[in-house]
């Protein structure tokens, strides 16, 4: 058995599927791009047809019939995305799939099991969730299935080939105009009448073209499918008719994209792991950002919030002319938490909080601190937290941490260090003067000489540190560098 | 040291003219021991990661703020997140007049945010400043140069905590 999924008015559907519902109900027509001088209407929706617009009219003729007619050009990028969605739906039915034409996919159903009635309805319903109106035909050969798809209201399975074909007009096979004219002059109007003619006589009079038409009319022609590879990219793209200057329309389209992409992934039992957002600006610049989903999920709200949080604080250099969103699929994570572990309860919410913190403070100002492998004072970096992949920790006291016990007091740093006047006697600080702490020194420890990177030209550093206790109380760290003394922080 | 523990779902102010860094290090170690996560909202970007065991840093979210108002906003975000067991807002180095400019409604809002969560919220200050905090504790003691020869755990014994305000009995304990 073969099945055909047909998307009627494919170019129109592809162009309108990301538009708001009320815009889709307005009269819309797609213009043929190839007609450079006088563009003609290629496809139009029911509202336009009800207003008297017909396929083949010029744009001015269409506008004369319907003043509210919205004329749009074909969008190859959106047609590609719609084709991918169609292909994925076909691959959910069978691994043997052919892209037969624009908005038409043929697939082969092998095996002895009969095709269930609900099978086609499920595929139609899935495509409807992707905002694609589909018809499905199921029959014994690809050509018959295509005819069934054209004749179907939603899904049609041909069980009696002759009963189905007999009443169909010859024009349904889309023969050459000359051949159709000959048959009409013979009085052959239906496929039943054509298949009733002797095949050898038809071949003798009309040649191989006639023979082929006769075989199709009799439902006997079969062919091998030109198999298509399964889609490997999951992306949606939109070239805006008008340049976008505010966030709201962008978010509207992005939400639609996420809904569509998660539905497509749902069909193959996957969820998005990363989102790649690309914005193309009017001045030719491009902005690309990859968002890693902490706990991959198919939840539209969660995925949308990731993009929303980022875009809230994003300033575009100029108006946006096109938008592209791609997702990388992965398996949905399944994790069994430990009974005594306090891991992140909602990793995606934490990721969003982190994005908000980065927006508030800057990208390097929220994260996990990591000490650099150097003795240079205040050498650290801030890394992105990875609280999802922490090793299990049993209740530990300090000696069991695997690290030596920590001595002394933690330093409360001044960033940048505060310049200070330091009185020195016999190379030992005896008094300090600064805007934070001043007074005579009761006791001092040092000097702690530190130096490094002297082997790298222009990167060497050196300093001398002292820990001091003031007479009036307070412990401080002093640092002598090439350009003078500094107060590095306090131990209070 | 904190024999009564920290109130989960509550805001605790610890006034620490001395020993605030030790308290922070202790809480970080305690969090690591429990397998929990800690967030430090650093009001003046003064935290030194070298003073905390490296293992504890892996469970440590450091939020480096430039102003007090940024710190309060960041605290609001982290508390609303609800993923972290302990959130510390360190305002010790912030100027008291700047902290006093924070309207009391902001502190009460933070209190309301933390109430339904399983998070213990601690505000470290150099002097009593947070009106909405219950309880308020004071860390006292004397540290000198000789303290550098002692282990941090031993130094804690030299400090003591005094309850300044609020119920002594914290029903749900954190540490």
Q: Do A395 and B92 touch (CB under 8 A)?
A: no
Q: Do B81 and A349 touch (CB under 8 A)?
A: yes
Tell me how many residue pairs between chain A and chain B have CB atoms under 8 A apart: 182
Tokens of A86: 């169609």
What is the pairing mode between strands B38-42 and B86-90? Answer: parallel
Q: Which of A72-81, A242-251, A384-393, B78-87 has the highest mean pLDDT?
A: B78-87
B3: pLDDT confidence band, cut at 50, 70 and 90? very low
**The pLDDT of residue B170 is above 50:** no
Nearest Cα residue in chain B from A446: B145
Q: Do A445 and B145 touch (CB under 8 A)?
A: yes
Tokens of A214: 């006769």
What is the 8-class DSSP label of residue A227?
Answer: B
- Look at residue B73 in the predicted model and tell me its pLDDT: 93
| Phi then psi dihedrals of residue A293, to 5 deg | -85, 120
- Minimum mean pLDDT range among A124-128, A330-334, B32-36, B119-123: B32-36
C-alpha distances in Å from residue B170, one per residue of A394, B10, B11, B134:
25, 9, 11, 10
> Average pLDDT for residues B139-153, to the nearest whole number?
83
* A480 min Cα distance to partner chain B (Å): 19
Is A191 strand, coil or helix? helix
- Look at residue A336 in the predicted model and tell me its pLDDT: 66
- Look at residue A120 in the predicted model and tell me its pLDDT: 83
Q: pLDDT, tens digit, for every residue of A268-285?
A: 888 999 999 999 998 888
Q: Which of A21-25, A444-448, B27-31 has the highest mean pLDDT?
A: A444-448
Give CA–CA dist A183/A398, Å, rounded.
95
Tokens of A392: 């299990």
> Average pLDDT for residues A215-220, to the nearest whole number?
83
* A352 min Cα distance to partner chain B (Å): 9
Of the residues A377, A384, A409, the best mutation for testing chain B's interface (the one with the most B CB atoms within 10 Å of its CB) is A409
Is A286 strand, coil or helix? strand
| Phi then psi dihedrals of residue A101, to 5 deg | -175, -170
- Look at residue A403 in the predicted model and tell me its pLDDT: 58
**The pLDDT of residue B4 is above 70:** no
| Phi then psi dihedrals of residue B43, to 5 deg | -65, -25
**The pLDDT of residue A288 is above 60:** yes
- Look at residue B76 in the predicted model and tell me its pLDDT: 94
Nearest Cα residue in chain B from A488: B46
Strands (E), A203-270: 234-244
Nearest Cα residue in chain B from A376: B50
Inform me whether the C-beta atom of residue B25 falls under 8 Å from chain A C-beta atoms: yes
**C-beta atoms surrounding A482 within 10 Å:** 7
**The pLDDT of residue A35 is above 60:** no
Give every CB contact of residue B66 below 8 A, 6+ residues apart in sequence.
A361, B45
Of the residues B14, B21, B52, B138, the best mutation for testing chain A's interface (the one with the most A CB atoms within 10 Å of its CB) is B21
In this complex, the residue of B46, B149, B151 whose CB is nearest that of residue A406 is: B151
* B169 min Cα distance to partner chain A (Å): 24
Give CA–CA dist A261/A467, Å, rounded.
60
- Return the biggest CA–CA distance within chain B: 44
Strands (E), A129-199: 135-139, 155-157
B82-118 burial, b if ≥16 CB within 10 A, otherwise e? bbbbbbbbbbbbbeeebbeebeeebbeebbebbeebe
Inform me whether the C-beta atom of residue B59 falls under 8 Å from chain A C-beta atoms: yes
- Look at residue A25 in the predicted model and tell me its pLDDT: 84
Residues of A in contact with B29 (CB under 8 A): 398, 401
Give CA–CA dist A131/A260, Å, rounded.
8
**The pLDDT of residue B70 is above 90:** yes
> Average pLDDT for residues A306-315, to the nearest whole number?
88
State the pTM of this model.
Answer: 0.68
Tokens of A60: 């001015």
* A359 min Cα distance to partner chain B (Å): 10
B175: pLDDT confidence band, cut at 50, 70 and 90? very low
In this complex, the residue of A378, A403, A467 whose CB is nearest that of residue B54 is: A403
Residue closest to B46 by CA, chosen among A366, A436, A413: A413
Give CA–CA dist A380/A392, Å, rounded.
25
A202: pLDDT confidence band, cut at 50, 70 and 90? confident
**C-beta atoms surrounding A245 within 10 Å:** 12
Residue closest to B7 by CA, chosen among B135, B164, B139, B140: B135
C-alpha distances in Å from residue A305, one per residue of A300, A373, B96:
8, 37, 37
Q: In A287-396, which residue ranges form alpha helices assigned H by DSSP? A: 300-312, 347-361
Inform me whether the C-beta atom of residue A402 falls under 8 Å from chain B C-beta atoms: yes
Q: Do B155 and A409 touch (CB under 8 A)?
A: yes
**The pLDDT of residue A147 is above 50:** yes
- Look at residue B128 in the predicted model and tell me its pLDDT: 87
Q: Do B149 and A407 touch (CB under 8 A)?
A: yes
Give CA–CA dist A419/A404, Å, rounded.
34
Q: Do A492 and B20 touch (CB under 8 A)?
A: yes
Q: What is the 3-state secondary structure (H, E, C) of A47-72?
A: HHHHCCCCCCCEHHHHHHHCCCCEEE
> Average pLDDT for residues A215-223, to the nearest whole number?
83
Residue closest to A197 by CA, chosen among A218, A212, A181, A178: A218
What is the pairing mode between strands B10-15 and B136-140? Answer: parallel
In this complex, the residue of B77, B82, B144 whose CB is nearest that of residue A357 is: B77
Q: Do B77 and A356 touch (CB under 8 A)?
A: yes
- Looking at the DSSP bridge assignments, the partners of residue A439 are A432
Pick the residue with more confidence: A33 or A68? A68
B72: pLDDT confidence band, cut at 50, 70 and 90? very high
> Average pLDDT for residues A425-444, to the nearest whole number?
89
Q: pLDDT, tens digit, for every residue of A227-259?
A: 888 877 888 888 887 888 888 889 999 998 999
Of the residues B25, B30, B49, B77, the best mutation for testing chain A's interface (the one with the most A CB atoms within 10 Å of its CB) is B49
Tokens of A230: 């399964």
- Look at residue A394 in the predicted model and tell me its pLDDT: 47
Give every CB contact of residue A19 below 8 A, 6+ residues apart in sequence.
none
Q: Do B74 and A340 touch (CB under 8 A)?
A: no
Residues of A in contact with B141 (CB under 8 A): none
Give CA–CA dist A135/A88, Å, rounded.
15
Give every CB contact of residue A341 below 8 A, 6+ residues apart in sequence.
A392, A393, B35
**The pLDDT of residue A486 is above 80:** yes
Q: What is the 3-state secondary structure (H, E, C) of B112-168?
A: HHHCCCCCEEEEEECCCCCCCCCCEEEEECCCCHHHHHCEHHHHHCCCEEEEEECCC
Give every CB contact of residue B3 below 8 A, 6+ residues apart in sequence.
none
- Look at residue A304 in the predicted model and tell me its pLDDT: 93
**Crossing angle between the packed helical segments A247-266 and A300-312, to the nearest 10 degrees:** 150
The whole-angstrom distance between residue A458's C-alpha and the CA centroid of its chain comes to 45
* A373 min Cα distance to partner chain B (Å): 11
Give CA–CA dist A126/A265, Å, rounded.
12
- Look at residue A209 in the predicted model and tell me its pLDDT: 86
> Average pLDDT for residues A328-357, to the nearest whole number?
79
Give CA–CA dist A166/A409, Å, rounded.
95
Residues 60-79 of chain B whose Cβ lies under 8 A from any Cβ of chain A = 60-66, 70, 73-74, 77-78
């Amino acid at each position: 058995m073969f099945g055909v999924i047909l998307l009627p008015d494919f170019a129109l559907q592809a162009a309108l599927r990301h538009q708001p519902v009320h815009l889709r109900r307005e009269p819309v027509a797609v213009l043929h791009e190839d007609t450079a001088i006088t563009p003609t209407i290629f496809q139009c929706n029911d509202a336009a047809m009800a207003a008297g617009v017909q396929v083949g009219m010029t744009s001015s003729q269409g506008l004369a019939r319907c003043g509210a007619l919205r004329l749009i050009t074909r969008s190859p990028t959106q047609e590609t995305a719609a084709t991918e969605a169609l292909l994925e739906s076909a691959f959910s039915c069978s691994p043997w799939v052919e892209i037969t034409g624009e908005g038409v996919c043929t697939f082969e159903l092998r095996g002895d099991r009969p095709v269930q009635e609900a099978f086609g309805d499920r595929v139609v319903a899935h495509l409807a969730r992707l905002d694609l109106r589909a018809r499905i035909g199921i029959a014994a050969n690809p050509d018959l299935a295509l005819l069934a798809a054209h004749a179907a209201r939603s899904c049609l399975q041909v069980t009696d080939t002759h009963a189905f074909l007999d009443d169909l007009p010859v024009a349904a096979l889309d023969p050459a105009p000359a051949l159709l004219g000959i048959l009409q002059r013979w009085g052959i109007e239906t496929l039943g009448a054509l298949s009733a003619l002797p095949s050898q006589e038809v071949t003798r009079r009309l040649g191989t073209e006639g023979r082929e038409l006769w075989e199709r009319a009799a439902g006997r022609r079969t062919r091998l499918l030109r198999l298509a590879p399964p889609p490997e990219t999951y992306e949606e793209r939109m070239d805006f008719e008008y340049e976008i200057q505010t966030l709201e329309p962008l978010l509207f389209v992005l939400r639609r994209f996420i809904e569509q992409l998660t539905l497509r992934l749902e069909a193959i039992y996957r969820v998005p792991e990363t989102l790649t957002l690309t914005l193309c600006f009017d001045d030719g610049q491009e902005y690309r950002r990859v968002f890693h989903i902490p706990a991959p999920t198919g939840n539209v709200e969660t995925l949308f919030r990731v993009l929303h949080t980022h875009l809230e604080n994003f300033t575009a250099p100029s108006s946006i002319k096109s938008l592209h969103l791609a997702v990388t699929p992965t398996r949905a994570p399944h994790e069994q938490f430990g009974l005594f572990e306090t891991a992140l309860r909602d990793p995606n919410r934490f990721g969003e909080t982190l994005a908000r913190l980065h927006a508030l403070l800057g990208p390097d100002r929220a994260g996990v601190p990591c000490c650099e492998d150097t003795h240079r004072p205040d050498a650290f970096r801030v890394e992105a937290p990875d609280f999802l992949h922490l090793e299990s920790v049993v209740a530990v006291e300090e000696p069991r941490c695997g690290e030596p016990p920590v001595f002394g007091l933690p330093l409360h740093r001044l960033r940048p260090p505060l310049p200070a006047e330091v009185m020195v006697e016999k190379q030992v600080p005896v008094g300090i003067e600064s805007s934070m702490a001043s007074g005579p020194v009761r006791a001092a420890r040092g000097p702690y000489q530190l130096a490094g990177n002297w082997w790298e030209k222009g990167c060497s550093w050196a300093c001398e540190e002292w820990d001091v206790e003031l007479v009036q109380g307070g412990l401080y760290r002093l640092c002598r560098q090439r350009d003078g003394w500094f107060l590095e922080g306090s131990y209070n | 040291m904190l024999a009564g523990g920290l109130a989960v779902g509550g805001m605790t102010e610890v006034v620490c003219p001395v020993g605030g860094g030790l308290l922070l290090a202790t809480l970080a170690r305690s969090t690591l021991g429990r397998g929990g996560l800690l967030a430090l909202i650093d009001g003046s970007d003064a935290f030194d990661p070298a003073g905390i065991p490296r293992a504890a840093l892996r469970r440590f979210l450091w939020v480096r703020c430039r102003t007090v108002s940024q710190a309060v906003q960041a605290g609001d975000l982290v508390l609303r997140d609800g993923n972290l067991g302990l959130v510390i807002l360190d305002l010790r180095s912030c100027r008291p007049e700047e902290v006093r400019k924070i309207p009391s409604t902001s502190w009460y809002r933070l209190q309301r945010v933390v109430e339904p969560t399983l998070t213990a919220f601690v505000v470290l200050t150099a002097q009593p400043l947070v009106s909405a905090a219950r309880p308020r504790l004071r860390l006292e003691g004397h540290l000198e140069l000789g303290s550098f020869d002692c282990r941090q755990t031993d130094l804690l014994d030299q400090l003591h905590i005094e309850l300044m305000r609020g119920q002594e009995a914290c029903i749900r304990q954190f540490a």
